Amino acid sequence: MKKILTLLAALVTVSEITMAQTLNVVTGNVTYQFPASQAGDMTYADGTTIDIMGRTFTLSDISEMYVDDTEVTDNTVNVQYNGTTATVTVAGNVAQFVSATVSGAHVSLVQSDDLGDDTGKIEYILAGNSSDGSFYMEGTYKMDLTLDGLTLTNPSGAAIDIQNGKKINVTVKKGTVNTLTDGSNGTQKACFVIKGHAEIKGQGTLNVYGNTAHGIKTSDFMTVKNLTLNVLKAVKDGLHANEYFLMESGTLTIKNVGDDGIQTELDGTTSTGETTGHEDEDTGNIYIDGGTVNIEATAAGTKCMKADGDAVINGGDITLKAAGAIDTTDSSDLAYTAGIKGTNVTVNGGTLDITVTGNAGRGLAADNTLTVNGGTITVNNSGAGQTVSSDNCTAKGFKALSMALNSGTITITMTGTGGKGIRVGDGTKTTSGQTTRYTNVTGTFTIGTTDGNGPTLTISTTGAQLGSSSGGGGGWGGGRPGGGGQSSSGSSAKGIKAICATTLYGGEVVVTTTKDGAEGLESKTAVYIEGGKHYFQCYDDCINSSGKIFFNGGVTVCYSNGNDSVDSNAGTTGAITIGNGAVFAYTSKGAPEEGFDCDNNSYIQITGTGIGISAGAAQGGGGGGWGGSSSGNTISNAKQGYAFITNSISYSAGRYYTVADNSGNNLVTYSFPASVSSSLSLITATGMKSGNSYTIKYSTTAPTDAATAWHGLYIGSTASGSNNVTSFTAK
């Protein structure tokens, strides 16, 4: 009775002290603050309860009531942590909608379902520090959460657990540093759990340590803007979101994770596809629109970014380091570490710097299509190849079923055994003797666009073959032994390996390889060069195809120092076709490797008015190509003049060789970076006519007026040589 009388006296005081601002009602560690101007009538009933602004208190629960001049901000709930305790202060206008329970520094709040748009969202402001505390919130209405200099560790569960299931705005206050840590071996899904859509923003810093599972997990989408977000440890994923993840700006750092850096999943069973403004979107996509992203992933099979949907990079400065080993837990479905992995991967802009060191790791990997429309991408992949259950698993810079490299600057460096700069396409593989073929081929591979534009693509592969090889000379020529013969149970490094057809529309492509068996571009279907400028400097074949190879446009220079330069195994007329493109193909290996190898020189076709120059030896003797004879040195229905020169020519570095007509008009000039001894040369050039005579002369001065100068090929110059090499009559 004494306590009730004391409280009644306090109420009288409130009514008398009109200048006072706030009535504070204290229940345990929770204070409800009612502005005097809003309090109105307070209903006292039955001697046991009192109603203030819609909030009913049991008098026996009230430990104190007092009046002071504290200013109250409507729609706010403040939680202050102080070591082993926490206090909660609730603004009076929302007191009827918030129930708070405090045990030590563990705070549990329930937001009433009755809260609606008339009152608006409540802002929950967390500050202070505790090494044994937590914040739990549940409700059905959206809310704002502000972290204002919070250091919070929960040894037995999540540091923050929001179970509202609605849109949750998380603001990290400007200039503050906030750190969340959860306990080990718990049942929580993350250190910071949000059941709902999370928009994490602000201009402060948030550090997260996930000791049981994920760093931050949302049941719906997650967006990040402006703040500095550091996930410094996670037993599972650093960030895990359903529906989609979007980074707009700010700085994101993720490291020391036991699974993926960022992972997204579908919330439902069917993707909505990307929607306007991402409204009601459920795709499982990852979007990086801007900001700075740094992710290190070291677990077996880990991905820095893994999207069950698509990964879309529109901007930002992104640095990814993937160092995990092959995950062999499921022997039928091996998992490889990767920088970015998605159903589809699209890069429209930004800067990506990807370092891969894990065995057989990938830089960018897509189950379906990988598209590059812009940006700067650098992949440094030193992942070694590894044999698992007799399968050769090798690292890849880019890997996808289909690939379109439309624009941008792309640099891929592969140094591991058996590494492939690009691996694209799929099919049913069959091997007969030393010849490998694919049927039921799926996928497409294009470089550049049909208007002739394209990326700047540089690929360097220096890794040796994975597995064993035996025999001599020349490496591999697309499934058959080059020269001295060779057998292999291993996997050779490649610049580009395409199971599907390959079309080069534009751009500038430079591919270099250095080890035995390392081809520049290998297609198991066909190669179409329609435009652009391309240079291949390879130990093995520069361009190799199980099907046909077409030079319909652009400028292509191929230099092999260990095998054939251009090699088609189509075994039919048109195996190598020179249309309106320019191709300069040569090998410095010597016999029996050729500039153009298509099993029989009669299989070469000249269908346009382009340029074709080859230099190398003559396989099988007599200049007929591998398995051919000198009678094969005839091209049926050639559109312009050509010549097979079978006398020996010793080409030297530092000399510039010009093909000219009888009037001295320059048809083409070419040069070599190393000595080349050629016993079989094909020469055809724009304007060459059957029956006319032509000369090859050299000078020691490079043309300076060429319309096109590309790795030793000069087109459109007026330069003329002064030293005779040979002459010929075109067929």
Q: Is residue 472 over pLDDT 80? A: no
For residues 36 and 18, the answer to whether their CB atoms sit within 8 Å is: yes
Residue 626, pLDDT score: 38
CA distance 469 to 491: 9
DSSP annotation string for 614-632: EEB--TTSTT--TT--GGG
| Helix boundaries (H) for 207-311 | none
Alpha-carbon distance values, 640 to 547, 553, 645, 708 (Å): 24, 16, 16, 21
Q: Is the pTM of this model over 0.85?
A: yes
The answer on pLDDT for 91 being more than 70 is yes
Q: What is the pLDDT of residue 54?
A: 86
Whether the predicted pLDDT of 610 surpasses 60: yes
How much of the chain, in percent, has pLDDT values that exceed 70?
92
Least confident of 61-70, 151-160, 336-345: 61-70
User: What is the model's pLDDT at position 17?
Assistant: 46
**pLDDT interval class at 476 (50, 70, 90):** very low
Angle at 401 between CA 400 and CA 404, to 5 degrees: 70
Tell me the pLDDT tens digit for each residue of 552-586.
999 999 999 999 999 999 999 999 999 999 999 99
DSSP annotation of 489 reads S
pLDDT band at 41 (very low <50, low <70, confident <90, very high): low
589 close to 562: Cβ distance less than 8 angstroms: yes
pLDDT recorded at residue 332: 84
- Quick one: pLDDT at residue 20? 64
Position 425 scores a pLDDT of 97
First to last CA, the chain: 122
Residue 338: phi, psi to the nearest 5? -155, 155
Confidence of residue 434 (pLDDT cuts 50, 70, 90): low
pLDDT surpasses 90 at 405: yes
The whole-number average pLDDT for the span 25-34 is 95
pLDDT in tens, 278-288: 999 999 999 99
From 42-51, 61-70, 647-656, the region with the lowest mean pLDDT = 42-51
pLDDT in tens, 179-189: 999 999 999 99
The reported pLDDT for the residue numbered 524 is 95
Amino acid at 709: A
> Is the Cβ–Cβ distance between 228 and 202 less than 8 Å?
no
pLDDT in tens, 197-256: 999 999 999 999 999 999 999 999 999 999 999 999 999 999 999 999 999 999 999 999
Q: Where are the beta strands (DSSP E) in 203-342?
A: 205-210, 214-218, 222-225, 228-234, 239-242, 244-247, 251-257, 262-265, 285-288, 292-297, 303-307, 310-313, 317-322, 338-342
Handedness of CA 711, 712, 716, 717 (dihedral sign): positive
- In this structure, are residues 124 and 146 in contact, taking their beta carbons and an 8 Å threshold? yes
The rounded mean pLDDT for the chain is: 91
Angle of CA points 308, 310, 311, to nearest 5° = 110
Q: What is the pLDDT of residue 474?
A: 38
The three-point CA angle 267-235-230 to 5° equals: 85
Distance between CA 445 and CA 426 in Å, rounded? 11
Residue among 426, 365, 359, 370 nearest 397 (CA): 365
Task: Give the pairing type, strands 190-194 and 214-218.
Answer: parallel
pLDDT score at 489? 63
Return the percentage of the chain with pLDDT > 90, whole number. Answer: 79
